[in-house]
Amino acid sequence: MNHHPPSPVGRALTVVLGALPFTVITLLVFEHWPPLARWDQSVADRVASYGAVHESVVDFWQVVGAVVLPWTSRAVIVIVAAIAMPGGAAAQTVVIVNGDPVTQFDVEQRSKLVQISSHKAPSRNEVVEELINEKLKIQLLRRFSLDGIDKDVEAAYANMARRMRATPRDFTENLAKQGLKSETLKSRIKADLIWGQVIRGRYQSAFQFSDGEIAARLQAKGGDDVSLVGYDYTLRPILFVVPRGSPPAAFEARKKEAEALRARFQSCDEGIPMARGLRYVAVRHQVVKSSAELPTVLRDVLAKTELGRLTAPEATPQGIEVYALCGKRQSDNAPAKKEVRDELMNETFQALSKKYMKELRDQAMIEYR
């Protein structure tokens, strides 16, 4: 092959035109990305080696192989990385927790989630620390076997959507409209579920409270005598069905029917068969409810209802509902005791969570970038 020595200007233009565009792209997008820094060094070594051997003769294809192709590959790497990682530069790593990265995109997403849920803008440092803790919680799956955790996450997500009167799909779309990915919320749910199971399993005995501990807390709190007495109520729900989409007049009419039954209802033995004989009335299976588990309003209603009688009619999405009070017996599970037990559980959980998280962070490899 004949070699024709190019002019110095031609040689310079070949190298500059081949390398400059890709250099600009990569410097703008990933200035300090370690893999590309190593690539730069490799390209520089190849060019230097080529120049040392061919000081005065430059073959076009050798220039392509030594300069243009490496820099073209470099640009392709950058473009693919920019597409694959959301937000381009926003996906830069902020901190690495035991080998798992937390990116700038994660920080932005969590900041939005906190702001939407609490209506307060968190500081960047608070968000980063929260994400570190979340990584450590999720990494506990490497130590402990927790079956069905992903199903629990989906169930919790669906329940959250239901409380917002939406399907999971609609809920996801609503989050997206606010710039929030559903994975961000699911990650937090997953971390909380894992953490709750691990803490309660690891420190199981710490969540057992004696009657003496509960009594001492009750004495310190004081409180009324009514809340210190608990009851187990046996109830029969009775529903006067109103078709969906009916006008308010239909609910009023059914409410009058319920009031009429209430006036005649003297005992469950006689009243339940009577209710079953009414048109479009559903008598449901009996349920036993502790006064400690009931909302305060319903607890007060049942406390004022005589045994064997009906509660006042209440409107529900299905129609008008009343409850027949068919049984009532005193129990040890008083509302005040349940409140105290819940307080002790929460205090113990928070203290042990703080203790165990400190242990995990002391053992972890956390690298801030």
For 160-178, the DSSP string reads HHHHTTS-HHHHHHHHHHT
Instruction: Tell me the pLDDT band of 32, cut-offs 50, 70 and 90.
Output: very low
Confidence (pLDDT) at 53: 53
Q: What is the mean pLDDT of residues 194-207?
A: 94
Q: What is the mean pLDDT of residues 58-74?
A: 52
In this predicted structure, the answer to whether residue 36 has a pLDDT above a threshold of 80 is no
Instruction: Tell me the pLDDT band of 31, cut-offs 50, 70 and 90.
Output: very low
Instruction: Tell me the pLDDT band of 210, cut-offs 50, 70 and 90.
Output: confident
Is residue 298 classed exposed, middle or buried when 0-12, 13-18 and 19+ CB atoms within 10 A define those classes? middle
Instruction: Tell me the pLDDT band of 226, cut-offs 50, 70 and 90.
Output: very low
Instruction: Tell me the pLDDT band of 14, cut-offs 50, 70 and 90.
Output: low
Confidence (pLDDT) at 192: 96
> What is the Cα–Cα distance from 170 to 164, expressed in whole angstroms?
10
Instruction: Tell me the pLDDT band of 24, cut-offs 50, 70 and 90.
Output: very low
Confidence (pLDDT) at 125: 95
In this predicted structure, the answer to whether residue 227 has a pLDDT above a threshold of 80 is no
> What is the Cα–Cα distance from 336 to 218, expressed in whole angstroms?
7
Confidence (pLDDT) at 165: 84
| CB 292, CB 335: distance < 8 Å | yes
Instruction: Tell me the pLDDT band of 16, cut-offs 50, 70 and 90.
Output: very low
Compute the radius of gyration of the chain from its Cα atoms.
35
Instruction: Please state, as a whole number, how many other Cβ atoms lie within 10 Å of the Cβ of residue 253.
Output: 14
Q: What is the mean pLDDT of residues 153-178?
A: 93
Angle at 207 between CA 203 and CA 210, to 5 degrees: 140
**Regarding predicted confidence, which is higher, 64 or 279?**
279
> What is the Cα–Cα distance from 66 to 53, expressed in whole angstroms?
13
DSSP string, 93-107: EEEEETTEEEEHHHH
DSSP string, 260-317: HHHHH---HHHHHHHHHTSTTEEEPPPEEEEGGGS-HHHHHHHHHSPTT-BPPPEEET
Please write the tens of the pLDDT for every residue from 253-309. 999 999 999 999 999 999 999 999 999 999 999 999 888 788 878 888 888 899 999
Q: What is the mean pLDDT of residues 180-194?
A: 96
CATH node for 93-192: 1.10.4030.10
> What is the Cα–Cα distance from 262 to 253, expressed in whole angstroms?
14
Percent of the chain scored above 90 by pLDDT?
Answer: 55
> What is the Cα–Cα distance from 271 to 288, expressed in whole angstroms?
19
Is residue 174 classed exposed, middle or buried when 0-12, 13-18 and 19+ CB atoms within 10 A define those classes? middle
Mean of all residue pLDDT scores within the chain? 81
Confidence (pLDDT) at 263: 95
**Regarding predicted confidence, which is higher, 181 or 13?**
181
pTM summary value: 0.57
CATH of 230-331, one of 3.40.50.300, 3.10.50.40, 3.40.190.10, 3.90.650.10: 3.10.50.40
Please write the tens of the pLDDT for every residue from 317-352. 899 999 999 999 887 677 777 788 888 999 999 999
Domain boundaries, the chain: 8-84, 93-192, 230-331
> What is the Cα–Cα distance from 364 to 369, expressed in whole angstroms?
16
Confidence (pLDDT) at 298: 84
| CB 324, CB 232: distance < 8 Å | no
Please write the tens of the pLDDT for every residue from 96-137. 999 999 999 999 999 999 999 888 999 999 999 999 999 999
Angle at 321 between CA 316 and CA 322, to 5 degrees: 145
Query: Left (φ > 0), alpha (ψ -120 to 50) or beta: where does 222 sit?
Result: left
- Residues constituting the chain: 369
Is residue 146 classed exposed, middle or buried when 0-12, 13-18 and 19+ CB atoms within 10 A define those classes? middle
> What is the Cα–Cα distance from 186 to 158, expressed in whole angstroms?
11
